């Protein structure tokens, strides 16, 4: 507290103020300083009920860059903003690659485009139904929910493959017999996945809770589409082919 003594980094450290100073200044190979910004408004991750206009992260980054190119703009709101901006293009890219790989694998087994599309039908129908049900229930999808949808693609597509494989490859013409032989196995596969994902519904962490809800609803819709919609479509396609 001597007014004649110059305040320095070493002086502050020697007086036991490291816990305070380290939040703003650190010394390693050189000094690094941080300044905290408190813009007026709601940033990403803030209170969504707050009527204050949201902060324009991109505009704030531009202002900081104009002050000095050596400044780095970061923080949880900035990271969330970047994730939100990049998420959808990356998600669509991943879905396109994954779906293409699945279609090629199915085509390698059935060797026809018609059967490949039929094998994918329950998954497409199930996803459409689940999206409608979740929308009717007012469920808002977050990042975890979208991850759940992507994960279910690799699980639910198997249901339709089991049914179609018994019908086409093993040449079991009677669809009732197909469902008798494969239905129980598909239901067991669904139950194990549903129990695993369904336990997340009890999570107190909201994103994990929503992950469980979306997974369970989507798996259930894909199961129903595989056991009811797909057999009906296969029978209809077979009758149409015979009529030609």
Percent of the chain with pLDDT over 90: 0
Tell me the mean pLDDT in the region 55-78.
Answer: 82
Tell me the mean pLDDT in the region 203-224.
Answer: 86
DSSP symbol at 73? -
How do residues 96-141 score in pLDDT, each as one tens digit?
A: 887 788 888 888 888 888 888 888 888 888 888 988 888 888 877 7
In this prediction, residue 13 has a pLDDT band, given cuts at 50, 70 and 90, of: confident
pLDDT value at 52 more than 50: no
Write down all domains in the chain, each with its CATH number in brackets. Answer: 9-67 (no CATH), 83-243 (1.20.1640.10)
Residues 6+ apart with CB under 8 A from 113: 107
Q: What is the CA radius of gyration of the chain?
A: 28
CA distance 18 to 32: 14
pLDDT value at 142 more than 80: no
8-12, 80-84, 144-148, 169-173: least confidently modelled range: 169-173
**What angle is formed at CA 202 by the lines to CA 195 and CA 209, rounded to 5 degrees?**
90
Burial 88-120 (b: 16+ CB within 10 A, else e): eeeeeeeeeeeeeebbeebeeebeeeebbbbbb
CA distance 234 to 238: 6
């Amino acid at each position: 507290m001597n007014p004649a003594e110059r305040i320095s980094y070493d002086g502050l450290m020697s007086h036991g103020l490291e816990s305070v100073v380290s939040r703003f200044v650190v010394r390693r190979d050189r000094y690094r300083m941080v300044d905290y910004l408190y813009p007026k408004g709601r940033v990403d991750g803030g209170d969504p009920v707050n009527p204050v206009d949201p902060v324009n992260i991109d505009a704030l980054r531009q202002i900081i860059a104009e002050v000095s190119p050596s400044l780095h703009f970061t923080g949880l709101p900035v990271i969330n903003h970047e994730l939100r901006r990049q998420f959808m293009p990356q998600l669509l890219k991943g879905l396109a690659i994954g779906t293409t790989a699945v279609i090629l694998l199915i085509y390698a087994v059935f060797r026809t485009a018609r059967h490949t599309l039929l094998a994918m039908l329950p998954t497409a129908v199930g996803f459409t139904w689940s999206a409608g049900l979740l929308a009717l229930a007012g469920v808002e999808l977050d990042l975890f929910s979208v991850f759940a949808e992507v994960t279910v693609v690799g699980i639910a597509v198997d249901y339709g493959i089991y049914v179609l494989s018994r019908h086409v490859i093993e040449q079991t013409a009677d669809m009732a017999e197909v469902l008798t032989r494969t239905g129980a196995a598909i239901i067991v596969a669904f139950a194990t996945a549903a129990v695993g994902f369904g336990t997340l519904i009890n999570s107190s962490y909201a994103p994990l809770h929503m992950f469980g809800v979306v997974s369970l609803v989507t798996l259930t819709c894909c199961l129903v589409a595989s056991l009811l919609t797909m057999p009906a479509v296969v029978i209809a396609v077979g009758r149409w082919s015979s009529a030609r």
